[in-house]
């Protein structure tokens, strides 16, 4: 089976990339390990490693990318704009605030539940004639020569042998493709687990996103559709997660939220089921090897603080497609390694900036040294008071200075 481009991994990054390529009239074969629900019978997409209980805070640049794909009208039905961002540390004096009207922007981004984002992307891909979806398939071998990439995969009882000029590996943090290529990784375990859920409060969220650093970990509260629904992402120390999971711990979890957040949301009234995800930083030593490109978490998995991970992956995909579109339009080799290496170099500055920012935020606010605590709270005050800092940080967070 000969395919111009094969994407391994059909999560949110893989599906988004497939739709970008199809918009450029480039045929794509997309391989996904799970079995997708049947769109024809209107099945709900279940929680799994991509369309899970988490939410994505889409930056303004990500929204623009989905607008270019003609998808934003469908996504916006399930999204909530962030009009303000409040940053603080529990028990400290430092506070900072971003307001959309002061920064002269419509919003700082949009929050959408991953299950909804995945559902819209999947349906669009299922209906696109240029995208061949092969689900329930497990890749078992990958090798390449100067001209082609060869994949072996199994689907139920069948063995599939696929050949392509270009393979894009978007198969997650523990990428099989990355391992098959012998690409090493740099790993930092944050010794944290993210507790993720949805809560209901007695006061409306007023489209405010909140990042509060607490002794338990950095708490993110983001607005969701429905005036009183909020997304919670709360990294806590690994090994303590069972304290927060299970229906028997609902009130305990709500009480801890109340103590950490205060009364600005009124009363935390209800919580959904909590899910937990271990947190680590995994950075591939290289993102291009021959005719294979690593994409998404296969290339760089970062801490969810500040919600930058998926937005960074989407910008990677958007830039890669520009390079591939040029090759395709000129009838040139779409898997030319020199072109792929140019893409890799073009993305390094943005990637390093985001990775550095997220990593140092986590490390900086995880240290209870009194001198460091004073320094970071002074920094929050400076952020709020010194002219010129807010627009710079706002543009960075919105993905507009990549």
pLDDT of residue 39: 56
Tokens 């490693």 belong to residue: 49
pLDDT of residue 80: 94
User: What is the mean predicted confidence (pLDDT) over 125-143?
Assistant: 95
pLDDT of residue 381: 45
- Residue 356: pLDDT band with limits 50, 70, 90: confident
- Residue 361: pLDDT band with limits 50, 70, 90: confident
Q: Looking at the predicted structure, is the pLDDT value of residue 12 above 50?
A: yes
Residues 6 or more apart whose CB falls under 8 angstroms from that of 151 comprise 6, 8, 31, 139, 141, 142, 160, 161, 162, 163, 164, 167
- Residue 99: pLDDT band with limits 50, 70, 90: confident
Q: Looking at the predicted structure, is the pLDDT value of residue 187 above 60?
A: yes
- Single pTM value for the model: 0.88
pLDDT single digits (tens) 284-315: 999 999 999 999 999 999 988 777 899 999 99
Structure tokens at 87: 């940053």
- Residue 90: pLDDT band with limits 50, 70, 90: low
Q: Looking at the predicted structure, is the pLDDT value of residue 213 above 80?
A: no
- Residue 214: pLDDT band with limits 50, 70, 90: confident
pLDDT of residue 104: 82
User: What is the mean predicted confidence (pLDDT) over 184-201?
Assistant: 93
Which H, E and C letters describe the chain, residue by residue? CEEEEEEECCCHHHHHHHHHHHHCCCCEEEEECCCCCCHHHCCCCCCCCCCCCCEEEEEHHHHHHHHHCCCHHHHHCCEEECCEEEEEECCCCCEEEEECCCCCCCCCEEEEEHHHHHHHHHHHHHCCCCEEEEECEEEEEEEECCCCEEEEEEECCEEEEEEEEEEEECCCCCCHHHHHCCCCEEEEEEEEEEEEEEEEECCCCCCEEEEEEECCEEEEEEECCCCCEEEEEEEEECCCHHHCCCHHHHHHHHHHHHHHHCCCCCCEEEECCCEEEEEEEEEECCCEECCEEECHHHCEECCCHHHCHHHHHHHHHHHHHHHHHHHHHCCCCCCCHHHHHHHHHHHHHHHHHHHHHHHHHHHHHCCCCHHHHHHHHHHHHHHHHCCCHHHHHHHHHCCCCC
User: What is the mean predicted confidence (pLDDT) over 146-158?
Assistant: 94
In the CATH hierarchy, which fold is given to the domain comprising 2-55+115-187+281-364?
FAD/NAD(P)-binding domain (3.50.50)
How far does the chain reach from its first CA to its final CA, in angstroms?
37
Q: Looking at the predicted structure, is the pLDDT value of residue 372 above 50?
A: no
Output 245 or 45, whichever has higher pLDDT.
245
Least confident of 61-70, 163-172, 214-223, 321-330: 214-223
Q: Looking at the predicted structure, is the pLDDT value of residue 374 above 50?
A: no
pLDDT of residue 269: 94
pLDDT single digits (tens) 322-353: 999 999 999 999 999 999 999 999 999 999 98
- Residue 228: pLDDT band with limits 50, 70, 90: very high
User: What is the mean predicted confidence (pLDDT) over 345-366?
Assistant: 82
Output 220 or 160, whichever has higher pLDDT.
160
What's the mean per-residue pLDDT of the chain?
A: 85
pLDDT of residue 236: 87
C-alpha 70/C-alpha 74 separation (Å) is 9
**Most confident residue range from 32-46, 91-105, 296-310:** 296-310
């Amino acid at each position: 089976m000969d395919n111009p481009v094969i994407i391994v991994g059909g999560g949110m990054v893989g599906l988004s990339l497939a739709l970008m390529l199809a918009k450029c009239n480039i045929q794509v074969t997309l391989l996904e390990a799970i079995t997708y629900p049947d769109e024809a019978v209107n099945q709900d997409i279940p929680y799994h490693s991509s369309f899970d209980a988490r939410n994505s805070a889409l930056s303004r640049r990500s929204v623009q990318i989905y607008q270019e794909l003609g998808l934003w009208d469908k996504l916006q039905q399930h999204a909530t704009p962030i009009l303000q961002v409040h940053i603080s540390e529990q028990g400290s004096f430092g506070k900072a605030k971003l307001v959309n009207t002061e920064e002269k922007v419509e919003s700082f981004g949009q929050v959408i539940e991953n299950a909804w984002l995945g559902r819209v992307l999947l349906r669009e891909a299922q209906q696109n004639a240029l995208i061949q979806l092969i689900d329930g398939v497990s890749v078992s071998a990958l090798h390449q020569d100067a001209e082609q990439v060869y994949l072996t995969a199994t689907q139920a009882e069948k063995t599939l042998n696929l050949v392509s000029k270009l393979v894009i590996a978007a198969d997650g943090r523990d990428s099989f493709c990355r391992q098959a290529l012998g690409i090493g990784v740099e790993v930092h375990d944050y010794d944290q687990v993210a507790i993720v859920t949805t809560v209901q409060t007695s006061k409306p969220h007023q489209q405010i996103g909140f990042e509060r650093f607490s002794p338990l970990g950095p708490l993110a509260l983001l607005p969701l559709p429905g005036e009183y629904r909020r997304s919670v992402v709360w990294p806590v120390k690994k090994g303590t997660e069972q304290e927060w999971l299970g229906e028997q711990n609902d009130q305990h979890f709500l009480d801890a939220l109340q103590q950490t957040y205060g009364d600005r949301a009124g009363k935390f009234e209800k919580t959904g089921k909590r899910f937990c995800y271990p947190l680590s930083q995994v950075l591939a030593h290289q993102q291009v090897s021959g005719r294979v490109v690593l994409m998404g978490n296969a290339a760089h998995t970062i801490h969810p603080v500040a919600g930058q991970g998926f937005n960074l992956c989407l910008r990677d995909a958007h830039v890669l497609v520009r390079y591939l579109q040029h090759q395709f339009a000129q009838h040139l080799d779409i898997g030319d390694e020199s072109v792929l290496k140019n893409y890799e170099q073009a993305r390094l500055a943005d990637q390093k900036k985001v990775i550095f920012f997220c990593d140092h935020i986590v490390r900086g606010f995880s240290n209870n040294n009194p001198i460091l605590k004073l320094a970071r709270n002074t920094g929050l005050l400076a952020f709020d008071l010194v002219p010129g800092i807010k627009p710079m940080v706002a543009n960075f967070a919105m993905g507009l200075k990549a």
